[in-house]
């Protein structure tokens, strides 16, 4: 029986010729990523070594990446102190893949890792963030873990107790209509699968629509695989992956894609044709409460958010800038934009997108997670409604349980900024 991409990766990383679904393996970790919660990882890491007589040193500092993004710049003395402690650990351990609060190399972890070439096809990537699934966009097996599990990885260099997951194959065919993109596809898919529909499983993406999709869009897809409960999403590496790594991530050495066997066994196959897909909106308070934009068009919005690890990339900002160029954000709403990295921010400046957005009335903030998880800035008032390109709309997600969050693409968000109500971005509203 053939193996899926993730089975191939896990077999290689655990030194076996093959693995079957349900096998428990201990794969060597190629990249171990944390953000501010490295503060807790450091605590747990020291705890592991307590009374062992061993010096608490990570197995390989060159395979650790730490990126500050959740609360940048720090919003409180507590966060600032956590960040300070992590900086001290980073310096003491010689961790070089450290991305502090900076306009040149800072940003959101799920953009920083790809754009710096840290993620390679076939790699095992773990991160103390559930959206670590994003990195499957480059053909890696990437999944979220807790802080204690990361401390264990830092100590051992491998992940203990990994059950080889079953894989759901997702075949995506057709050509995206204008103003419809990867975000609409993944929202649609989460709606079809349900919030637990892919629990403990991998979503492996195939089809001509995936082949034609740039890596930025694949990152959006894999980012939200976890919203269907998936352990990871993965796009098997192809010519576009190699192009991205060489041209955008500066990877000069040879890259070796890992592909599924022709006779790989999938638990099931889901077919999606995007040719007639409408822009999608996830309504409060679950990500699988997905409707075509027409169902909720006209609903008043108090705050529009464009950004995050899901949709803060250059092409997302380009779509928004194109829609808002020469127009104004409605005085009935407000609009916040968070580029996913300092590099993207600079590219958006050079391309004129930042000027377009600011002249329209949007506030362009520094790169980071922003209001997505309600810890930092852009809080909502009681009874207020946000329309956001982020990935979660759970009750209280943006910091106020008395508010509502709708999720959408950058095109829907920008078109809605002009009107102040949820708006279909397609010409003639798609009719």
Partner 1 sequence: MSAALVALVLGDDVSTDVIYPGRYMATVLPTETPQYAFADLGPFNARLKAGAVPAGGVVVAGKNFGCGSSREQAVSTLKGHELVIVAHSFGRIFLQNASNLGLRLVEAPGVSANEGDELAVGATEVVNLTSGRRFAIRPLPAARQAIIDAGGLIPYTRRRLLTPAVGG
DSSP-derived secondary structure letter, 245: I
Shorter beta-carbon distance to partner 1: residue 44 or 173: 44
DSSP-derived secondary structure letter, 322: H
Q: Does 425 bind partner 1 (CB under 8 A)?
A: no
Smallest CA-to-CA distance from 140 within 27, 37, 59 is with 27
Contacting partner 1 (CB under 8 A), which of 99, 110, 188, 392?
392
β-pairing verdict for 162-163 and 97-99: unpaired
Q: Does 396 bind partner 1 (CB under 8 A)?
A: yes
CB 33 within 8 A of CB 126: yes
- Residue 359: partners with Cβ closer than 8 Å, 6 or more residues away: none
Q: Does 20 bind partner 1 (CB under 8 A)?
A: no
Identify the sign of the CA torsion 35, 37, 41, 46: positive
| Strand spans (E) along 132-191 | 141-144, 162-163, 166-173
Contacting partner 1 (CB under 8 A), which of 62, 76, 96, 269?
76
Q: Does 78 bind partner 1 (CB under 8 A)?
A: yes
Smallest CA-to-CA distance from 159 within 167, 168, 151, 169 is with 151
Q: Does 174 bind partner 1 (CB under 8 A)?
A: no
CB 410 within 8 A of CB 280: no
Contacting partner 1 (CB under 8 A), which of 17, 55, 161, 276?
161
CB atoms < 10 A from the CB of 295, how many?
Answer: 13
Stretch binding partner 1 (CB under 8 A), from 124-132, 178-186, 237-245, 248-256? 124-132
Q: Token pair 């991305």 is at which residue? A: 99
Shorter beta-carbon distance to partner 1: residue 17 or 52: 52
Stretch binding partner 1 (CB under 8 A), from 86-94, 141-149, 348-356, 359-367? 141-149
- Residue 343: partners with Cβ closer than 8 Å, 6 or more residues away: 104, 105, 107, 115
Q: Does 266 bind partner 1 (CB under 8 A)?
A: no
Instruction: Provide the token pair at 340.
Output: 């996913």
Q: How many residues does the chain have?
A: 431
Preceding amide of 100 cis, omega within 30? no
Q: Does 373 bind partner 1 (CB under 8 A)?
A: yes
Q: Does 195 bind partner 1 (CB under 8 A)?
A: yes
Shorter beta-carbon distance to partner 1: residue 241 or 400: 400
CB atoms < 10 A from the CB of 106, how many?
Answer: 21
In the complex, the smallest distance separating the C-beta of residue 296 from partner 1, rounded to whole angstroms, is: 20
DSSP-derived secondary structure letter, 300: B
Number of H helices, E strands in the chain: 15, 18
Instruction: Provide the token pair at 135.
Output: 């990195």
Contacting partner 1 (CB under 8 A), which of 91, 92, 196, 363?
196
In the complex, the smallest distance separating the C-beta of residue 39 from partner 1, rounded to whole angstroms, is: 6
In the range 307-366, which residues lie near partner 1 by CB under 8 A?
none
With CB under 8 A as the rule, give the number of residues binding partner 1.
55
Shorter beta-carbon distance to partner 1: residue 156 or 351: 156
Contacting partner 1 (CB under 8 A), which of 171, 173, 286, 347?
286
In the complex, the smallest distance separating the C-beta of residue 244 from partner 1, rounded to whole angstroms, is: 26
Stretch binding partner 1 (CB under 8 A), from 147-155, 179-187, 208-216, 301-309? 147-155
* Helix ranges restricted to H, 3-108: 5-13, 38-49, 77-93
Q: Does 419 bind partner 1 (CB under 8 A)?
A: no
In the complex, the smallest distance separating the C-beta of residue 52 from partner 1, rounded to whole angstroms, is: 6
> What three-state secondary structure class fits 127?
strand
Q: Does 128 bind partner 1 (CB under 8 A)?
A: yes
Shorter beta-carbon distance to partner 1: residue 266 or 394: 394
In the complex, the smallest distance separating the C-beta of residue 26 from partner 1, rounded to whole angstroms, is: 7
Stretch binding partner 1 (CB under 8 A), from 311-319, 357-365, 388-396, 422-430? 388-396
Shorter beta-carbon distance to partner 1: residue 94 or 200: 200
> What three-state secondary structure class fits 66?
strand
**CA separation for the pair 200, 367 (Å, rounded):** 32
Shorter beta-carbon distance to partner 1: residue 158 or 244: 158
CA end-to-end span of the chain: 48
Residues forming the site for partner 1 (CB under 8 A): 24, 26, 36-37, 39-40, 43-44, 47-49, 52, 54, 70-71, 76, 78-79, 82, 128-130, 132, 144-149, 151-152, 155-156, 158, 160-161, 163, 195-196, 199-200, 229, 231, 286, 288, 373-375, 392, 394-397, 399, 401
């Amino acid at each position: 029986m053939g193996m899926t991409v993730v089975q191939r990766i896990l077999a290689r990383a655990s030194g076996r010729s093959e693995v079957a679904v349900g096998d428990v393996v201990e794969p060597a970790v190629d990249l171990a990523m944390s953000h501010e919660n490295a503060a807790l990882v450091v605590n747990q890491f020291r705890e592991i070594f307590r009374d062992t007589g061993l010096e608490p040193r990570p197995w390989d500092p060159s395979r650790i990446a730490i990126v500050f993004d959740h609360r940048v710049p720090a919003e409180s003395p507590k966060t600032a102190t956590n960040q300070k402690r992590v900086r001290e650990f980073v310096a003491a351990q010689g961790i070089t893949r450290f991305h502090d609060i900076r306009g040149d190399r800072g940003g959101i972890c799920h953009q920083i890792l790809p754009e710096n070439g840290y993620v390679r096809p076939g790699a095992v990537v773990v991160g103390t963030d559930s959206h670590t699934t994003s990195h499957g966009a480059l053909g890696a097996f990437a999944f979220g873990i807790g802080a204690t599990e990361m401390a264990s990885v830092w100590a051992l260099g491998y992940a203990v107790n990994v059950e080889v997951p079953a894989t759901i194959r997702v075949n995506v065919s057709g050509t995206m209509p204008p103003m419809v993109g990867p975000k609409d596809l993944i929202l649609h898919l989460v709606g079809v699968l349900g919030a637990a529909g892919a629990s403990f499983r991998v979503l492996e993406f195939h089809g001509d629509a995936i082949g034609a999709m740039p890596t930025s869009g694949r990152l959006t897809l894999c980012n939200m695989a976890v919203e269907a409960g998936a352990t990871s999403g993965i796009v098997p590496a192809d010519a576009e992956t190699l192009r991205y790594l060489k041209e955008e991530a500066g990877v000069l050495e040879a890259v070796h894609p890992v592909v599924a066997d022709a006779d790989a066994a999938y638990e099931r196959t889901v077919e999606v044709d995007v040719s007639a897909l409408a822009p999608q909106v996830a309504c409060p308070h679950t990500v699988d409460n997905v409707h075509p934009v027409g169902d909720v068009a006209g609903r008043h919005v108090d705050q529009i958010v464009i950004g995050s690890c899901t949709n803060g990339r250059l092409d997302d900002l380009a779509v928004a800038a194109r829609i808002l160029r020469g127009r104004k954000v409605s005085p009935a709403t407000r609009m916040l934009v968070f580029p996913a990295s300092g590099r993207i921010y600079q590219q958006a400046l050079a391309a004129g997108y930042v000027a377009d957005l600011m002249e329209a009335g949007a506030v362009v903030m520094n790169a980071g997670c922003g209001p997505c998880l309600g810890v930092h800035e852009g809080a909502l008032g009681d009874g207020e409604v946000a329309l956001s390109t982020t990935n979660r709309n759970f009750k209280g997600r943006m910091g106020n349980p008395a508010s509502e969050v709708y999720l959408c693409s950058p095109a829907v968000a920008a078109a809605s900024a002009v009107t102040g109500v949820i708006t279909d971005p397609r010409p003639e509203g798609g009719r």
